[in-house]
């Protein structure tokens, strides 16, 4: 009986030892320094619990706000976009007058920013994903909110550049979809997606190709009047277009991918 009790006592002791909080006696500043060291070393999984503790211990102070923002960043860097966005949404809601609000909006845009935007899924002939478009649009909204509310923020120039990239990429995404449908003989669907690009976007490079897809789709359907009208629009809008001269074949245009 004694050995059993002794073993139980040892296990209880081990359990107590394992649950010991090594940060219990750390000051908030020391705790923050530890978290920063983990972030700097790329150990985001270790930084997150330290920042959570810091947020609680320094509640109501600027340091707690900083901890919340850095925790969102750690989630983002560790690949947990959902937690990163939830943390930022909470920060934006709780601290609408924070001097770091511009950074929160910028980071929220970065979390949703995807520099592929689904384009490579086309090249790999994978199923098309609408999720990439949704994330890109949410990213755009965050960057637009930042640039509207904080035009002089140091993050605004980069946000505007990313907004331009997103718009161009989303338009190109529509054109890729139109080309995908055309290559499979779904000419009506190709026309609809090309027209969507033309109606939803302005002054983006992809519109030249959208018009060309329309020309080819109308031609395939025998709709000669619409084909010729669209070709005239293409010629007027892009008089030097390679699609008009037939010199596009060496540029790996969209139909070459399929």
Domain shared by 151 and 217, yes or no: yes
CATH number at residue 23: 1.25.40.10
**pLDDT tens-place string over residues 33-74:** 999 999 999 999 999 999 999 998 888 899 999 999 999 999
**pLDDT over threshold 70, residue 251:** no
Give yes or no for residue 256 having a pLDDT over 90: no
What lies within 8 Å, CB to CB, of 184 at 6+ separation is 258
Report which of residues 11 and 178 the model is more confident about: 178
If asked whether residues 235 and 151 sit together in one domain, one would say: yes
6-10, 29-33, 107-111, 225-229: the lowest-pLDDT one: 6-10
Same domain for 109 and 188, yes or no, is: yes
Average pLDDT along the chain: 84
Give residue 83's Cα distance to chain centre.
14
- Same domain? 153 vs 226: yes
State which of 61, 83, 98 marks the end of a domain: 98
| Domain shared by 62 and 45, yes or no | yes
Please tell me whether residues 23 and 147 are part of one structural domain: no
Given the structure tokens 């009986």, which residue do they identify?
A: 1
DSSP for the chain? -HHHHHHHHHHHHHHHHHT--TTTT--HHHHHHHHHHHHHTT-HHHHHHHHHHHHHHTTTSHHHHHHHHHHHHHHHHTT-HHHHHHHHHHHHHH-TT-TTHHHHHHHHHHHH--SSTTHHHHHTTPPP-SHHHHHHHHHHHHHHHHHHH-TT-TTHHHHHHHHHHHHHHHHHHHHHHHHHHHHTT-HHHHHHHHHHHHHH--S-THHHHHHHHHHHHHHHTT-HHHHHHHHHHHHHH-TT-HHHHTTTGGGT-GGGG-
Shared domain for 21 and 41, answered yes or no, is yes
Predicted model pTM: 0.75
- My answer on whether 58 and 124 are in the same domain is no
Indicate the residue among 98, 116, 139 that finishes a domain.
98
pLDDT at 22: 78
Q: Is the pLDDT of residue 201 over 70?
A: yes
Say how many CA atoms lie within 13 Å of 131 toward its Cβ: 3
Distance separating alpha carbons of residues 101 and 95, to the nearest angstrom: 8
pLDDT (mean) for 103-125: 71
Q: Are residues 112 and 44 in the same domain?
A: no
Q: How many domains does the chain have?
A: 2
Least confident of 103-112, 131-140, 206-215, 226-235: 131-140
Q: Do 246 and 188 have their domain in common?
A: yes
Q: Could you say which of 52, 81, 98 is where a domain stops?
A: 98
The verdict on 201 and 85 lying in the same domain is: no
Of 166-170, 203-207, 223-227, highest mean pLDDT:
223-227
Q: Find the domain containing 62 and state its range.
A: 1-98
Q: What percent of the chain has pLDDT over 90?
A: 65
**Sign of CA pseudo-dihedral 131, 119, 112, 80:** positive
In this structure, are 58 and 116 located in the same domain?
no
Q: How far is CA 29 from CA 41, 53, 57, 68, in A?
A: 18, 12, 11, 15
- How crowded is the C-beta side of 115, counted as CA atoms within 13 Å? 3
pLDDT in tens, 123-133: 444 444 455 67
């Amino acid at each position: 009986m004694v050995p059993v009790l002794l073993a139980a006592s040892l296990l209880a002791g081990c359990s107590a030892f394992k649950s010991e909080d090594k940060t219990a006696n750390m000051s908030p500043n020391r705790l923050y320094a530890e978290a920063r060291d983990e972030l700097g070393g790329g150990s985001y999984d270790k930084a997150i619990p330290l920042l959570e503790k810091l947020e609680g211990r320094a509640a109501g102070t600027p340091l707690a706000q900083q901890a919340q923002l850095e925790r969102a960043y750690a989630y983002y860097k560790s690949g947990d976009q959902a937690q990163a966005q939830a943390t930022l949404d909470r920060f934006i809601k709780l601290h609408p007058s924070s001097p770091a609000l511009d950074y929160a909006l910028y980071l929220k845009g970065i979390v949703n920013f995807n520099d592929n935007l689904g384009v490579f899924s086309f090249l790999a002939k994978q199923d098309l994903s609408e999720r990439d478009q949704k994330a890109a649009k949410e990213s755009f909204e965050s960057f637009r909110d930042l640039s509207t509310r904080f035009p002089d923020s140091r993050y605004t120039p980069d946000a505007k550049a990313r907004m331009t990239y997103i718009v161009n990429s989303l338009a190109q995404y529509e054109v890729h979809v139109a080309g995908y449908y055309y290559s499979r003989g779904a000419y009506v669907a190709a026309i609809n997606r090309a027209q969507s690009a033309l109606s939803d976007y302005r002054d983006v490079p992809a519109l030249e190709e959208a018009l060309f897809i329309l020309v080819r789709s109308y031609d395939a359907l025998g709709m000669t009047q619409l084909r010729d009208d669209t070709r005239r629009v293409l010629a007027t809008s892009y008089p030097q277009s390679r699609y008009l001269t037939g010199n596009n074949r060496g540029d790996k245009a969209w139909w070459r991918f399929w």
